[in-house]
Chains A and B, each alone.
Chain A
Amino acid sequence: MLALEIANLKKTYTGGQTALKGISLTVKKGDFFALLGPNGAGKSTLISILTSLTLKDSGTVKICDIDIDKNFAEARRRLGVVPQEFNFNIFEKVAQIVQNQAGYYGIPRRLARERTEMVLRQLELWEKRNVQGRMLSGGMKRRLMIARALVHQPEVLILDEPTAGVDIELRRQMWNFLQQLNCTGTTIILTTHYLEEAEQLCRNIAIINQGEIIANTDKKSLLSMLDTNTLVLELAKPLKKAPVIQNAQSVLSDSQTLELTFSSRIPVSKILYHLETQKISFTGIRNKTNRLEELFVRLTAKRAS
């Protein structure tokens, strides 16, 4: 069953700028899906159309098999949205903001109060329930928007850059929360600039560039498109010159840091075996770059050229 089905979606703004050139995309129910793309690629337009804040020129959008043009109310009931920018009334209290949103979705007041308490506790905002929105920190405001989007218990949650401007600790907390939410069956679609975030959280990834989908597959297949891998080793003992390692190109960044570049078809264990045979020991190992980031840059650059 599909959580989202987009077919031939087109949008050109009044000024003549084409944001979407006939996008087709599907997201399965229960998926954790990332939509990646550089600034101006069309991500926000796509999300805006899903939430009906932007009107499409043509194409169809189905949310949980419900066409947004035919039954907009039912489609919207299944969707929760966390926009990139804060869009709540800053003079309202935290609990009021969430409770009102429940009301807009037709949830009776008593149930709305219970749900509000539940989501605010989940997102560690219950202590702030009587505080005006403007008094919250940036991270709390972002959590408030997630709480607001979850109060009607949507089947699909869309998050537009949910961790932008959030410190590392809070970002990790939000990742955990979203992973738990996904485990309960909620389909999550997120756009992000933090490619590490997409690599950590998502099972399937689409890359959008200049209004077109240029890649749409599972994370593993996407990463397999990378033909080389670069490992950075922190050496236990300094070396004067780079050792010769079979099947890999080795470069010393400094006397204690060795970079090994090898084909992604060669198992890492084989490279490590060669190091072992040469009695080169190391205290740390990491990928030189975020793999997804490397792929993203390659794909979008190829398209631009």
Chain B
Amino acid sequence: MNDRTNRKAEWIAFYTIIRKEVQRIIRIWSQTLLPSVITTTLYFLIFGNLMGSRVGNLGGFPYSDFIAPGLVMMSIITNSYGNVSSSFFGAKFSRSIEELLVSPVSEHTIILGYMTGGIFRGLMVGILVSSVALFFTNPVVTHPVLAVILTLLVSSLFSLAGLLNALKARNFDDISIIPTFILTPLTYLGGVFYSVHMLPDFWRFVSYANPILYMVSVFRFAFLGASDIPPWPALLLLITLTLALYGVCWFLVRWGKGLRN
């Protein structure tokens, strides 16, 4: 096979992985797409409407408008992460991952294929949750290109994080520990429901160590045009983290860590 044929074969394999992932997401839509829509609707009802009317404005915006970007971002993060960690670990557990491992597919194609699956679910849920937000907020997207770039970056980063989790996991408990004990607390403490400027100095300083704070803040900037944190350094941080995580995943898959004997 020459280089061109090899590249074509890799593209077909890449498309096959994505197709398989998309089919899976759609087949079990009640587990993959619906829960975030229900949760976000409840958040908007309770925090946005019932409590939000008492909170008033935050950062110059109605409370429901203020929390909307954070809620969308939270859904993108948890879904892109959850998609890859459960799908890849499921394949590892059932040993169907061997279908890929014995084939000529390169490590890059495997990683990018699963990552794209995670991005797809993140985007789908992001669109659905944004649609829900339309019923409760005054829709404004000040910087749409930035919103799209950030969505792609964040879903890529958390898809890779999910893959890393799945590569390291030995049982189903291992893939629920990180979302439960790390991801969810960091998301809730990432300024989804409040402005970091409302915190005392010490806790504000601690919050700056939380990467999700930057994602939520920049996403809010893309929507509302105002943010706690300047967007460009945050984007740079995100790109760096994504590349670093990709490198770690590639190393693990290349040397079969957690996959081959």
A residues lining the B interface (CB < 8 Å)? 13, 48, 51-55, 72-74, 76-77, 79, 81, 83, 85, 87-92, 96, 100-101, 103-109, 148
Contact = CB atoms under 8 A, between A and B. Distances in A.
A89 B256 contact: no
B104 A106 contact: yes
Interface string B1-35: 10001101110110111011001000100000000
B260 A89 contact: no
Contacts of B13: 103-106
A190 B20 CA distance: 31
B100 interface: yes
Contacts of B260: 52-55
Contact of B104 (A54, A74, A87, A109): A74
- Classify chain B: how many residues form its interface, as a range: 20 to 34
Interface string B98-109: 111111111000
B252 interface: no
Nearest to B14: A103
B172 to A, nearest CB: 16
B93 to A, nearest CB: 11
B91 interface: yes
Contacts of B103: 76, 101, 104-105
A106 B12 contact: yes
Contact of A73 (B12, B15, B94, B106): B106
Contacts of A105: 9, 13, 103-104
A108 B98 contact: no
Contacts of A96: 20, 23
B8 A106 contact: yes
Secondary structure type dominating chain B contacts = helix
17 contacts: A53-B102, A55-B256, A55-B261, A73-B1, A73-B6, A74-B1, A85-B95, A87-B98, A87-B99, A89-B90, A100-B20, A103-B13, A103-B19, A104-B100, A104-B105, A106-B8, A109-B12
A148 B17 CA distance: 16
A100 B6 CA distance: 18
Given A53-B260, A90-B94, A103 B104 contact: no
Given A55-B260, A55-B261, A87-B95, A77 B102 contact: no
A106 B96 CA distance: 18
Contacts of B96: 87-89
Given A74-B1, A106-B12, A108-B12, A53 B98 contact: yes
Interface in B103-125: 103-106
Given A74-B104, A104-B105, 7 more contacts: A53-B101, A54-B261, A87-B99, A88-B96, A103-B13, A107-B12, A148-B99
Given A54-B261, A55-B260, A76 B102 contact: yes
A89 B94 CA distance: 7
A56 B63 CA distance: 60
A52 B99 CA distance: 12
Contact of A52 (B12, B90, B101): B101
A43 B232 CA distance: 57
Given A85-B95, A89-B94, A77 B1 contact: yes
Which 8 A-B pairs rank lowest in CB-CB distance, beginning with the nearest?
A106-B9, A103-B16, A73-B104, A104-B103, A87-B95, A54-B261, A89-B96, A76-B104
A83 B104 contact: no
Which of B95, B98, B103, B256 has most chain A Cβ within 10 Å? B103
A88 B9 CA distance: 22
Contacts of A148: 99
Which of B19, B27, B96, B102 has most chain A Cβ within 10 Å? B102
Nearest to B90: A89
A92 to B, nearest CB: 8
Given A53-B261, A106-B104, A83 B91 contact: no
A108 B8 CA distance: 9
A208 B87 CA distance: 38
Nearest to B28: A91
A77 B1 CA distance: 10
Contacts of B6: 73, 106
A13 B261 CA distance: 8
